[in-house]
Structure 1
């Protein structure tokens, strides 16, 4: 289970505000990438509603939703995102780092340090550590992973209402069989990442059909 070791190593016990940074949505074929920055104070560690913080992928949807509410109520946080057009222009890695920068910028304070999930970190004006699977090591990063995941899932549910037919309320933009069949039937929407190979291949097939028909 994640704990407070990494935060302590960066000085969290000395009243330094060490945030966790994580993103959600690097793999889907559609929708933005969303990042969250979360500061959990030492006092918050004893809060019962935050006792089950973990990597968002290891939690049920119900537990994620409950923890997301607790994080928003108890912790200081920022949310950032990068749009589909930015993903296509920059590539998904750079767009994810941009979303993280925006999440930090959305905080109402300047952090003293940051723990970033993954091997790459955005440019930050504070000391930071980038670690693979940090969402399973740091409670702050775990909280950020939960907040980013729940925020993005709800955003994809809203997009499903705006642009129905692709089952985003269930697949969240990932390349499921149902999503693929919908793409074959409807073609890509303005929310699809056209720089991603499956979407590129589909567009190419559709264009070839148009030419030969």
Structure 2
């Protein structure tokens, strides 16, 4: 009953930060779990489905752009992980967290830098969070096609920054992030 948790979406300038929590079943191994950033999109998609089918418990939670702006991205990331752990429906014995900070937990936890490449349960959470966030950005692309969210997933690429400059901020842009504040005229 060891839970892994991780988030996806701290760096983008739009959309939610998404977290997942996973308790794997040692009797049903899943080959190929790793840090989601080290896997192709196709491999992440396949592993995400397998994790959902074979894990004992899994949960996905998030904080949207308004919450991120209200409490900052670090606190929103921790809150999303807390929500994911609480959404498991069971109380794990321990929570392993990717990174150097722990969310608020009612059970023992351990923060592990690079944990998504070291512990399968954290890697599994990394995959679920990344796949869900990318899926949401495709949905947002349908609402706001001018911003090309399907391509850059709201990371501050040169193309995204150019579109942000041209069209201004849309409702899912994080207004507390410098590139968005600059477009809104809040900073030079």
- C-alpha distance after superposition, 1:7-38 (max 9, x if no partner): xxxxxxxxxx0000000000000000000000
Q: Distance in 2 between matches of 1:179 and 1:71?
A: 32
Residue of structure 1 in register with 2:54 after alignment: 74
| Distance (whole Å) between structure 2 residues aligned to residue 136 and residue 107 of structure 1 | 22
SS at the partner of 1:116?
strand
| 1:127 partnered with 2:111 | no
Q: Distance in 1 between matches of 2:59 and 2:39?
A: 22
Distance 1:70 1:190 in 2: 34
Cα distance in 2 for partners of 1:101, 1:108 equals: 13
User: Pairwise mapping of residues 99-118 of structure 1 onto structure 2 (< 5 A)?
Assistant: 99-118=80-99
Aligned partners of 1:60, 1:172: CA distance in 2, in Å? 15
Alignment of 1:141-180 (within 5 A): 141-180=122-161
Runs (4 or more) in structure 1 with deviation over 4 Å come to none
Q: Give me the whole-angstrom Cα distance separating, in 1, the residues matched to 2:5 and 2:85.
A: 8
Q: Work out which of the residue numbers 85, 102, 121 in structure 2 matches 1:140.
A: 121
Name 1:201's counterpart in structure 2. 182
Q: Does 1:23 align with 2:7?
A: yes
| TM-score, structure 2 normalization | 0.96
Larger radius of gyration: 1
Q: Which has the higher helix share?
A: 1
* Structure 2: 5+ residue stretches without partners: none
Q: 2:66 aligns with which of 85, 88, 103?
A: 85
CA apart distance, 1:193? 0.4
2: CA distance between counterparts of 1:170 and 1:38?
28
Distance 1:204 1:191 in 2: 17
Over aligned residue pairs, what C-alpha RMSD do you find?
Answer: 1.3
Moved more, 105-114 or 60-69: 105-114
Consecutive unaligned residues in structure 1, runs of 5 or more = 1-16, 209-213
Mapped partners of 2:177, 2:106: distance in 1: 32
CA contact (8 A) 2:117 2:123 kept: yes
Q: Cα distance, 1:109 vs. partner?
A: 1.1
Query: What secondary structure does 2:145 align onto?
Result: coil
Q: TM-score, normalised by structure 1?
A: 0.85
Q: Deviations over 1:166-192 (max 9, x none)?
A: 111110000112111111111001100
